Amino acid sequence: MNLPFVLDFLRQLAAHNNKAWMDEHRAQYQQARAEYSALVAQLLRDASASLEPRLHGLTPSDVMFRINKNDRFQQSDEPYKRHMGAGLKPGGRHSPWAGYFIALEPGGETYIGAGRWMPEPQQLARIRQEIQYNAPAFHALRQDAALLRHFPRGLDMSQSLKTAPKGYDKTDPDIEWLRLKSYFVWQSFSDAEVARPDFPARVLAAWQAAKPLVQFLNEAMAEE
């Protein structure tokens, strides 16, 4: 797989983010998508064997996000995303489960992640309830040495309520974690790191370290 080609295409797209340019360079886009798809296919094979059996049978098209922007979330008039991304989750990219994520973007903006970003209210309530009921296990997972070796910043704290969630006391010793609206870890990679032959193995190793956290979240969200 030629990941530098993917990064180079995305770099050009960022500089000419319009439909006319994309139409002119459709062949290069298809090649870049094929190269990225090859990476995702390899990660799916490895992840279904070692991380999540429910990924077995999914194809890259099941987990890759469209490069066209979703109008509901547009913050600019650019019609295309500046990255190629995929969400490896049971049921595919739009399923409600926690899972594993990868997005290639030039300029050191490539990132991998794991967990559940902005779960639905019922899912979020179940996660918070599980943290309250099983706080020692949750803290052991988020502070795990292997997890922090691959995701040094730990859980992303950027999405959080300003006050205690309904039904929780603001003096609860775990309120910092109960206020979170996402339970997600992520780490960025330089373009040079993405170009290295061992990049897929590094992605899988990081996801492996996050597997216990992902399992905790999925078990919490599962309907009884």
Instruction: Quote the DSSP letter at residue 80.
Output: B
Task: Please list the pLDDT of the chain residue by residue as tens digits (224 residues).
Answer: 899 999 999 999 999 999 999 999 999 999 999 999 999 999 999 999 999 999 999 999 999 999 998 655 456 688 999 999 999 999 999 999 999 999 999 999 999 999 999 999 999 999 999 999 999 999 999 999 999 999 999 999 999 999 999 999 999 999 999 999 999 999 999 999 999 999 999 999 999 999 999 999 999 999 65
What is the residue extent of each domain of the chain?
A: 3-221
**Joined tokens for residue 46:** 């490895």
Q: Find, among 136, 58, 148, 133, the residue nearest to 95 by Cα.
A: 58
Distance between CA atoms of residues 207 and 113, nearest Å: 8
> What CATH number matches the domain at 3-221, 3.30.930, 3.40.1350, 1.10.287, 3.30.420?
3.30.930
Model confidence pTM above 0.75: yes
Alpha helices in the chain (DSSP H): 3-15, 19-24, 26-50, 60-63, 121-133, 135-142, 145-150, 175-178, 191-195, 199-221
Distance between CA atoms of residues 135 and 55, nearest Å: 29
Residue type, 141: L
Residue type, 176: E
